[in-house]
């Protein structure tokens, strides 16, 4: 249940960040940036584990387009984390 919630948090955060960045809206709010940083850090740690489940990997594949949008984020920390992920 905890992993499912983590995956849901990551997915929702990536989608929200991509929607905001893609619309030209305000993307540099402190809370939004912190949330994106946390989601991207968790994502990179989780997906690089040797025992990551196929279901988790497939669920995160649904957010590739969000990651592509976020790779052009105005905050260099976000765009670098996305490119590294």
pLDDT digits (tens, 9 = 90+) for 23-48: 655 555 788 889 999 999 999 888 88
pLDDT digits (tens, 9 = 90+) for 56-81: 889 889 999 999 999 988 888 898 88
- pTM of this structure: 0.82
CB 38 within 8 A of CB 85: no
How far, in Å, are 8, 22, 58, 60 from residue 17 at the CA level? 14, 8, 20, 15
């Amino acid at each position: 249940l905890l992993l499912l919630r983590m995956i849901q948090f990551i997915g929702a955060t990536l989608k929200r960040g991509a929607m905001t960045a893609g619309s030209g809206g305000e993307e540099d709010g402190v809370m939004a940036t912190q949330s994106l940083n946390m989601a991207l850090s968790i994502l990179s740690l989780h997906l690089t584990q040797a025992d990551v489940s196929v279901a988790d990997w497939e669920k995160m594949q649904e957010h590739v387009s969000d990651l592509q949008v976020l790779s052009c984020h105005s905050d260099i920390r976000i765009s670098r984390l996305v490119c590294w992920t």
